[in-house]
Amino acid sequence: MAHVLSVEAVSKSFKGVAAVRRCSLELKQGEIVALLGPSGCGKTTLLNMIAGFEVPDEGRIELGGRDITRLPAHQRRAGMVFQAYALFPHMTVRDNILYGPRVQGEKPGVAQSRASEVADLLRIGNLLDRYPSQLSGGQRQRVAVARALATRPEILLLDEAFSALDRNLREEMQIELSLLLRRLGISTILVTHDQREAFALADRIAVMEAGRISQIDAPEAVYRTPKTPFVFEFLGSSNHLAATVGEQDGTPALLAAGGKLALTKMPVAQPAGSALTIGIRAEGIRLATAPTRAHRESPAVVRLVTFLGQTIRMVAEMGDISIISEVAAVSYETCPRVGDAVFLDIDETGVHVLDNAVAA
Amino acid sequence: MTPGTAASLRRWTPLLWIVPAALVLLPFFFLPLVLLFRNSLNRDDPMLLMVPDFTAINYIKALSDPFYLQLFANTIGAALFVAVIATIIAYPFSYFISRYARRSIGLVVWAVYMPLFVSVIVRVFGWMIVLADSGLLNAMLLKLHFLQTPLRLLFEVDGMLIGMVHRYLPLAILPLFNAMKKIPDELHRASANLGATPSGVIRDVVFPLSVPGIVISLQLTFAGALSDFVLPQVLGSPRFRMLAPAIYAEATTNLSTAMAATLAVLMLVFIIALLGASGYLVKRLTPWMTAR
């Protein structure tokens, strides 16, 4: 099936500083892709090039089979929801929604029926005569989405569209919008620095670092099988440990924390004696009261136990190394307390070799 | 001190902030205004000069005598012309600097302000050099054979209007620039994203949102030109009389102090009415700003 959007090796620099470097991306009809990365990673620039607010230095962008690389923004059919919503303050909600169909030359009747259709979808029919200044944050976001959808765009672009909302409202809106976009089959690109938002909405996540797409995969794949150290570090909370390739009981092992931790199930390609950095996610470490396979002696000491609602986060100290462990909150009653001596039980399937150098 | 009096004292203490201004404004501005109004109700007498009285005769004369009506028509017409032309010139300029003069914006705004720091007399003499029959402008146009005989601009309405537009242009640019730079870039983008052409963005977004700036620009330039004394006096023509020089002439040449006061009061009333009307106009044109 043809792609709705295809971005081919697009690059953009500003005053000699590369913002986006040879990014490629394809979007199937009805697919939702998140561009996820820290601020300054180029995700917004990439989105702006798709919307037509920036012209790529090189590369090609096609939307609905048509080359739009240099097409002015107003001739593209890419509906954008802006970070601060960018509702027209001098127009009522109705006029905001009607604006797109109107300037695109739709007949008044068509424009009106589109407006009432999207107002129903976003459940803002009761707000049509208000000005944006009279709306709450959540209502503004609904209007912004309705306005973008009223033009029947080929693709919807969400630029940090949830970041202005309170947390509870944000999650509600994410669920509602996710259901709506899937029901309508609207191809969407969302830009976010919030991994929860990316996971909540996207079919695929493109993790961006320094202008490049490091990995583009299904949410569980980018989380569980990160292809670069950056992807691993950016998603979830993780521990970094310096390790060397050695052996334990005659089997090759990764030895960390001065040999106190031995990981035997890892496939180790490097020769014995190599220094590496390994990453273990917080939820890949459990704190046990008895010695474990990976941690047989010199226990760590629990320094901090934090109840986070769904999870408990514990910090244990092993010599000068701090270890973060995160477990489900159901075990709160039985989990270690501050001052307890504990052994690390490590889920080795979640251990990643990040680097061939020693952790800083 | 009982808690009650302490609380009521606290309620009044903010008023202390306006005491310095009140000390200046009450005796030196408000009181003279009251005296001016009182004088306008007196009667001018050729022999006795101003005679104490309590009559509306000056107002009736000012608002019915063709001489004075022509004076008002001239003044309002010229002020309207200056306000509209200055605003039309200022609008695209303000749009340009609010959108495109990003790094040089400090310099540009300074350049706009700069003439306000130069004495109006100096600027008037500058215009005399430019506009005179043998001045810069005429010399250039003659040299380029655009003209056979010099244009008479100086000491004519034309010269006065040119000088006024120049004088009040900064007062037109600054409110427009202020209104336009408050329009977020995202709104321009949103408009384009929804399908508006670049001129559509200006028509649908920039223009309606700059209406308050347009009204303030018209207001400031109109009020300035209406009450201008120096430019009509120095650049203008004695055949096209303007209100401010006329008030001066009433008071000094004609020794009609009461009539001068009457004209001054009328000018003041007119400007106050104008400010009120434009405030109302802004409210009507920008319902979104007051919607609650």
Q: What is the pLDDT of residues A102-111, one digit of tens each?
A: 999 999 999 9
Model confidence at A92, in pLDDT bands (50, 70, 90)?
very high
For residue B87, tell me if it sits in a domain: yes
For residue B99, tell me if it sits in a domain: yes
C-alpha–C-alpha distance, residues A147 and A161, integer Å: 14
Model confidence at A249, in pLDDT bands (50, 70, 90)?
confident
Report the 10 Å Cβ neighbour count for B58: 25
Structure tokens at A165: 């909302």
Q: How large is the average pLDDT for residues A46-66? A: 96
C-alpha–C-alpha distance, residues B260 and B248, integer Å: 7
Q: A103: which chain B residues are within 8 Å (Cβ-Cβ)?
A: 191, 194-197, 200, 204
For residue B10, tell me if it sits in a domain: no
Question: A6 - beta bridge partners?
Answer: A26, A62
C-alpha–C-alpha distance, residues A157 and A178, integer Å: 13
- Which of the residue ranges A154-158, A198-202, B27-31, B115-119 would you say has the lowest mean pLDDT? B115-119
Q: List residues in chain A touching B: CB distance below 8 A.
A: 51-53, 72-76, 78-80, 82-84, 86-91, 99-100, 103-104, 130-134, 147-148, 151
- % of chain A residues with pLDDT over 70: 98
C-beta of residue A102 within 8 angstroms of C-beta of residue A111 = yes
Model confidence at A1, in pLDDT bands (50, 70, 90)?
low
A128: amino acid identity, one letter: L
Distance from the B100 Cα atom to the nearest Cα atom in chain A, whole angstroms = 15
For residue B198, tell me if it sits in a domain: yes
Q: What is the pLDDT of residues A259-290, one digit of tens each?
A: 888 888 776 677 888 888 889 999 999 999 99
When CB atoms are compared, the residue of B186, B189, B196 closest to A103 is B196
For residue B250, tell me if it sits in a domain: yes
Q: B207: which chain A residues are within 8 Å (Cβ-Cβ)?
A: none
For A281, what's the count of Cα atoms within 13 Å in the CB-facing half-sphere?
Answer: 18
Q: Is the pLDDT of residue B8 over 90?
A: no
For residue B205, give the chain A residue with the closest CA: A88
Q: Is the pLDDT of residue A357 over 60?
A: no
Distance from the A106 Cα atom to the nearest Cα atom in chain B, whole angstroms = 11
Q: What is the pLDDT of residues B97-113, one digit of tens each?
A: 999 887 888 899 899 88
Q: How large is the average pLDDT for residues B9-32? A: 91
When CB atoms are compared, the residue of B184, B196, B209 closest to A90 is B209
Q: Do A90 and B208 touch (CB under 8 A)?
A: yes
DSSP state of A293: S
Q: What is the pLDDT of residues A289-310, one digit of tens each?
A: 999 988 988 899 999 999 999 9
- The strand pair at B49-51 and B43-45 is best described as antiparallel
Q: How large is the average pLDDT for residues B219-247? A: 94
For residue B134, tell me if it sits in a domain: yes
Model confidence at B4, in pLDDT bands (50, 70, 90)?
low
Q: Is the pLDDT of residue A359 over 50?
A: no
Question: A262 - beta bridge partners?
Answer: A255
Q: A72: which chain B residues are within 8 Å (Cβ-Cβ)?
A: 192
Cβ contacts from A onto B, under 8 A: 79
Q: Do A131 and B288 touch (CB under 8 A)?
A: yes
C-alpha–C-alpha distance, residues A150 and A128, integer Å: 14
At A305, is the secondary structure helix, strand, or coil? Answer: strand
Model confidence at B14, in pLDDT bands (50, 70, 90)?
confident
C-alpha–C-alpha distance, residues B256 and B250, integer Å: 5
CATH label of the domain that carries residue B62: 1.10.3720.10
Locate all alpha helices (DSSP H) within B19-65, ordered by sequence. 19-25, 31-40, 57-62
Q: Do B288 and A130 touch (CB under 8 A)?
A: no
C-alpha–C-alpha distance, residues A238 and A142, integer Å: 36
pLDDT of residue A356: 63
C-beta of residue B38 within 8 angstroms of C-beta of residue B209 = no
For residue B210, give the chain A residue with the closest CA: A90
Structure tokens at A251: 């089997």
- The strand pair at A32-36 and A188-192 is best described as parallel
Model confidence at B3, in pLDDT bands (50, 70, 90)?
low
* Residue B256 structural domain: 35-290
For residue A104, give the chain B residue with the closest CA: B195
Q: What is the pLDDT of residues B157-214, one digit of tens each?
A: 999 999 999 999 999 999 999 999 999 999 999 999 999 999 999 999 999 999 999 9
For residue B279, tell me if it sits in a domain: yes
Q: Is the pLDDT of residue A360 over 50?
A: no
pLDDT averaged over every residue in chain A = 92
Q: How large is the average pLDDT for residues A160-184? A: 94
C-alpha–C-alpha distance, residues A52 and A156, integer Å: 13
B262 and chain A: CB distance < 8 Å anywhere? no
When CB atoms are compared, the residue of A53, A74, A83 closest to B196 is A74
Q: Please state the pTM of the whole predicted model.
A: 0.86
Q: Is the pLDDT of residue B7 over 80?
A: no
pLDDT of residue A358: 42
B191 and chain A: CB distance < 8 Å anywhere? yes
- The strand pair at A238-248 and A212-217 is best described as unpaired
Q: How many domains does chain B have?
A: 1
pLDDT of residue B2: 61
Q: Is the pLDDT of residue B90 over 50?
A: yes
Q: What is the pLDDT of residues A309-356, one digit of tens each?
A: 999 999 999 988 999 999 998 888 888 999 999 999 998 888 888 876
Q: Please, what is the angle between helix A93-103 and helix A137-149, to 10°?
A: 20
When CB atoms are compared, the residue of B187, B197, B291 closest to A134 is B291
When CB atoms are compared, the residue of A52, A82, A99 closest to B186 is A82
Q: Do B186 and A88 touch (CB under 8 A)?
A: no
C-beta of residue A353 within 8 angstroms of C-beta of residue A313 = no
- % of chain B residues with pLDDT over 90: 77
Distance from the B182 Cα atom to the nearest Cα atom in chain A, whole angstroms = 12
Q: A78: which chain B residues are within 8 Å (Cβ-Cβ)?
A: 193
For residue B1, tell me if it sits in a domain: no
- Which of the residue ranges A19-23, A261-265, A338-342, B6-10 would you say has the lowest mean pLDDT? B6-10
For residue B200, give the chain A residue with the closest CA: A103
Q: Do A103 and B190 touch (CB under 8 A)?
A: no
C-alpha–C-alpha distance, residues A11 and B113, integer Å: 42
C-beta of residue B226 within 8 angstroms of C-beta of residue B271 = yes
For residue A99, give the chain B residue with the closest CA: B194
C-beta of residue B232 within 8 angstroms of C-beta of residue B160 = yes
- The strand pair at A238-248 and A275-281 is best described as antiparallel
C-alpha–C-alpha distance, residues B216 and B278, integer Å: 8
Q: B191: which chain A residues are within 8 Å (Cβ-Cβ)?
A: 88, 99, 103
Question: A254 — phi, psi (to 5°)?
Answer: -95, 125
Q: Do B288 and A100 touch (CB under 8 A)?
A: no
B35: amino acid identity, one letter: L
Q: Is A189 left (phi over 0), alpha (psi -120 to 50) or beta?
A: beta
pLDDT averaged over every residue in chain B = 92
Q: B287: which chain A residues are within 8 Å (Cβ-Cβ)?
A: 131
